[in-house]
């Protein structure tokens, strides 16, 4: 193992250990640590924590390729003679699993080769060996892994003085002597790994590390983003007219982030949501393909691996096989009424660790914490409403613009949640009173149909309100799915108080995105005639979208979700669907104490 210093496993540089609130309850972990987990710890303590303590894992191209290679090796598993029975027999055994009671280790070894006198573990790696001034050597993490594999072999009675790492990229074998210095370093790393797991405190992300871009958990870890958010400063009490910390990336103070933020997460997801609207549709499955049928006639086919979620409206049925396949693939099914009311989700087990939810419920009982988060949520929402008015109104009303600016500042100083509710309601009055000025309907016949005077719901009583209500239902669905994926309980919020059947946390996260995503999609759909008065039906006082109109607005909504936007704190461009995930993960960092405050998302 290299003598170079490993990254600190506990805290950020020059950052004290966080308050006791960030320490989780004792974690119950298996007694035997897999040798592969020591590899992860030496490579990155934070990666080790995610995978071993929290059970979080995500595949990348590299991990899929590695898994397939090890699966093939496993199919060729050979019996391995006991140490006292080997004699001089040649040993060439694949997929050997052994344990060490002395070190509480378990090792799955790709290949053990040698004879009765001496054996060597062989571990297969995807990449290339380390080139140090022309000399090839195994990487520190790989050296640690094969070292403990050798220790496990020794504890089972085998003589083992060296190990081999086979690097597939260059088809080269690199020998690793198992000497006392390496054993000492490996056991030291093993002790520190166990200490990190026992502490329950997630290690700091690596700083500007070349390891991060190819890590399969980079979109979960968010290393650069976490460090940048840690440097984020809340606005001063006397802002002197400032709207917030920054209104845009261009106006961010130079010292807000020390280094340029690398965009390590994809700007867009290759997966797309599937919407099924209509009467008496049946969704079945054939192999890994979903089949949508109407009266036994095939309407559409789509591969499960190409979709992110399924949304069904009205009387749409799913076969048991389709539900099981979607649950296994972690593709949630969102159920809506025919009128667009979001009923709930069908999904697999999702994230299986409970640590974030433990902290979430504990924090929800902390009034001061809830108030701090709620201030940012409401202030960001009001600022975004103001931005939308300035951007889209024919003649932005100065009184409303100034009032929203003032209310956003007041929200940051609110002393209780009831005060915030009042400020949010006042801002909504100014905003929706001027929403009609953002609807530019040229057709004289259409203009009366899209007149908007005030926000109403349950039921919506005009086409614009029908679009807003439907859009908010879809956004609530997306954020409920995001909460589940990250590990939150979507029904326990910090601003919205618990109520039976209401996804309070999803609504918390949703507030700042209502104007940016849904209201913007409604304005675009109306102004570009993506929807027309013919796309609505009226039943009594209620107005709803027709099936044709619903499809058209879904298109407008998904176009908005796929639109690229510059993140105001990180400066890179991602689409809104990705922004929802990033913001939810930042809130998770605040809940666990890794970040001191929640930076709301605001655009210029």
Query: What are the chain's domains?
Result: 20-199 (3.90.320.10), 272-346 (3.100.10.20), 355-591 (1.20.120.920)
* Count of other CB atoms within 10 angstroms of residue 435: 23
Q: Report the DSSP beta bridge partners of residue 162.
A: 177
* Count of other CB atoms within 10 angstroms of residue 138: 24
- Are 216 and 60 in contact, with CB atoms under 8 Å apart? yes
- Band of the pLDDT at 27, cuts 50, 70, 90? low
- Are 499 and 491 in contact, with CB atoms under 8 Å apart? no
Closest CA to 335 of 320, 321, 315, 306: 315
User: pLDDT of 532-586, one tens digit each?
Assistant: 888 888 887 888 888 888 889 999 999 999 999 999 888 889 999 999 999 999 9
Rounded to whole angstroms, how far apart are CA atoms 279 and 299? 13
505 burial (CB, 10 Å; 0-12 / 13-18 / 19+) is buried
**Kind of pairing, strands 573-575 and 564-566?**
antiparallel
- DSSP summary character for residue 49: I
The pTM of this model reads 0.81
- Band of the pLDDT at 261, cuts 50, 70, 90? confident
- Band of the pLDDT at 104, cuts 50, 70, 90? very high
* Count of other CB atoms within 10 angstroms of residue 237: 8
- pLDDT top residue among 179 and 20: 179
- Are 450 and 480 in contact, with CB atoms under 8 Å apart? no
Q: What distances in angstroms separate CA 361 from CA 54, 300, 366, one per listed residue?
A: 17, 42, 9
Cα of 487 vs its chain's centroid, Å:
9
Q: Tokens at residue 288, please? A: 């890994």
**Kind of pairing, strands 281-286 and 316-318?**
parallel
Least confident of 254-258, 380-384, 516-520: 254-258
Task: Tell me what the mean pLDDT of segment 279-297 comes to.
Answer: 85
- Are 165 and 147 in contact, with CB atoms under 8 Å apart? no
Q: Tokens at residue 279, please? A: 């009467």
User: pLDDT of 438-474, one tens digit each?
Assistant: 888 766 555 557 777 778 778 888 888 889 999 999 9
Q: Tokens at residue 480, please? A: 């409920």
User: pLDDT of 488-497, one tens digit each?
Assistant: 999 999 998 8
């Amino acid at each position: 193992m290299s003598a170079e210093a490993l990254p600190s496993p506990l805290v950020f540089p020059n950052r004290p250990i966080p308050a006791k609130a960030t320490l989780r309850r004792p974690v119950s972990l298996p007694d035997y640590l897999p040798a592969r987990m020591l590899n992860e710890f030496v490579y990155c303590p934070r990666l080790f924590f995610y995978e071993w303590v929290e059970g979080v894992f995500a595949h990348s191209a590299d991990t899929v390729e590695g898994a397939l290679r090890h699966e093939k090796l496993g199919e060729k598993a050979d019996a391995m003679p006991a140490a006292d029975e080997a004699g001089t027999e040649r040993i060439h055994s694949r997929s050997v699993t052994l344990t060490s009671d002395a070190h509480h280790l378990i090792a799955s070894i790709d290949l053990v080769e040698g004879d009765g006198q001496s054996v060597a573990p062989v571990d297969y790696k995807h990449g290339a060996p380390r080139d140090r001034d022309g000399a090839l050597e195994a990487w520190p993490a790989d050296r640690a892994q094969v070292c403990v594999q050798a220790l496990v072999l020794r504890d089972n009675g085998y003589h083992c003085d060296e190990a081999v790492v086979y690097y597939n990229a260059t088809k080269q074998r690199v020998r690793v002597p198992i000497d006392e210095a390496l054993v000492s370093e490996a056991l030291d790393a093993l002790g520190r790994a166990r200490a990190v797991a026992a502490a329950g405190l997630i290690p700091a992300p690596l700083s500007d590390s070349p390891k991060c871009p190819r890590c399969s958990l980079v979109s979960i870890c968010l290393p650069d983003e976490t460090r940048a958010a840690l440097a984020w400063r809340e606005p001063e009490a006397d802002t002197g007219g400032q709207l917030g910390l920054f209104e845009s990336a261009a106006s961010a103070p130079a010292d807000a982030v020390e280094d340029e933020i690398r965009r390590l997460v994809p700007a867009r997801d290759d997966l797309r949501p599937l919407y099924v609207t209509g009467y008496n549709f049946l969704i079945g499955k054939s192999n890994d393909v979903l089949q949508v049928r109407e009266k036994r006639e095939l309407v559409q086919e789509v591969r499960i691996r190409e979709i992110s979620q399924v949304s069904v409206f009205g009387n749409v049925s799913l076969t048991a096989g389709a539900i099981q396949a979607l649950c296994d693939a972690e593709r949630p099914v969102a159920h809506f009424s025919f009128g667009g009311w979001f009923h709930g989700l069908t999904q697999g087990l999702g994230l299986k660790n409970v640590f974030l939810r433990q902290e979430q419920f504990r924090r929800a009982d902390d009034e001061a914490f809830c108030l701090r988060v709620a201030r940012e949520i409401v202030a960001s929402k009001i600022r975004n409403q103001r931005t939308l008015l300035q951007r889209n109104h024919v003649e932005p009303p100065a009184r409303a613009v100034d009032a929203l600016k003032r209310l956003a500042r007041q929200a940051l100083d609110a002393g209780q949640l009831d005060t915030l509710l009042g400020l949010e309601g006042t801002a909504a009055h100014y905003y929706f009173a001027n929403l009609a000025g953002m609807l530019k309907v040229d057709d004289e016949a259409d203009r009366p149909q899209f007149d908007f005077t005030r926000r109403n719901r349950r039921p919506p009583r005009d086409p614009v309100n029908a679009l807003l209500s439907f859009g908010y239902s879809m956004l609530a669905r997306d954020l409920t799915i995001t909460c589940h994926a990250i590990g939150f309980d979507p029904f326990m919020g910090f601003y919205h108080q618990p109520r039976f059947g209401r996804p309070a946390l999803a609504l918390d996260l949703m507030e700042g995105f209502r104007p940016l995503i849904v209201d913007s999609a409604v304005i675009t759909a109306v102004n570009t005639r993506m929807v027309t008065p013919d796309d609505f039906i009226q039943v009594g006082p209620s107005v709803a979208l027709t099936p044709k109109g619903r499809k058209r607005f879904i298109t407008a909504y998904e176009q908005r979700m796929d639109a690229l936007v510059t993140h105001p704190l990180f400066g890179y461009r991602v689409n809104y669907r990705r922004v929802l995930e990033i913001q939810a993960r930042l809130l998770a960092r605040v809940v666990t104490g890794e970040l001191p405050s929640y930076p709301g998302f605001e655009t210029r």
